[in-house]
Amino acid sequence: VGDSRVILSRGGSAQRLTVDHRAKTHPSERERIVAQGGYITGDRVNGVISVTRALGDHVLKKFLTCEPEMQSVALRESDDFVIIACDGVWDVVEDQDACDTVISVFQRNGSCQTAADALRRQALSLKTTDNVSVVVLKL
C-alpha cells in the first residue's frame, strides 16, 4: 500500500516482492478507479496522487483502496537481505543496482544502517525529486 517497494536479495539477485500500485503502471488499478467514477490525468488519480492504494487520504477515499496486495515468500538459504524503500529511491535506482550497493556495503563489514544511508545518498546523488526513506534488513 502506498509508494513503497520491497526487494529481496536472493543470492545477490534482486527479487521484487511487492507490486507498485501506481496509476501509470498498473492497468487494473486504473480500471478500478474509473469504474468508481474517478479519472487518471498526468499519471495521477484525479490529477492529484500517483498511488492507487493508500491509507488516510480522505479527499480521494472513494477512488483509492487501502486493501494491501499480500503474498508469502518462503525464505531460502541464499536469501541475504531485504530492502524496503519509498519511490524516492525507486524512481532513480534500479532494483539490482540497489542490491549491488547493499552488497558492496556488507562486503566492507558495513551495517544495515550504513547500507540504508548508502542507498539514500545514491538516490539523492541521482537527483530524486521525492522524499527518501530506506530500511535494510539482514536475514
pLDDT of 24 > 90? The answer is no
What pLDDT does 47 receive? 93
Do both 74 and 14 map to the same domain? yes
Domain count for the chain, please give it: 2
What pLDDT does 125 receive? 98
What pLDDT does 97 receive? 99
What pLDDT does 123 receive? 98
User: How far is 65 from 57, CA to CA, in rounded Å?
Assistant: 10
- Report residue 128's pLDDT band, with 50, 70 and 90 as the boundaries: very high
Sign of CA dihedral 6, 94, 50, 117: positive
Which uninterrupted H or E stretch holds 44?
Answer: strand 44-45
Q: 39 lies in which domain range?
A: 20-68
Do both 86 and 128 map to the same domain? yes
What pLDDT does 1 receive? 56
Q: By percentage, how much of the chain surpasses pLDDT 70?
A: 99
Do both 132 and 121 map to the same domain? yes
Q: pLDDT tens digits for 46-95?
A: 999 989 988 888 899 999 988 888 899 999 999 999 999 999 999 999 99
What pLDDT does 114 receive? 99
Do both 80 and 128 map to the same domain? yes
Do both 12 and 79 map to the same domain? yes
User: How far is 58 from 88, CA to CA, in rounded Å?
Assistant: 23
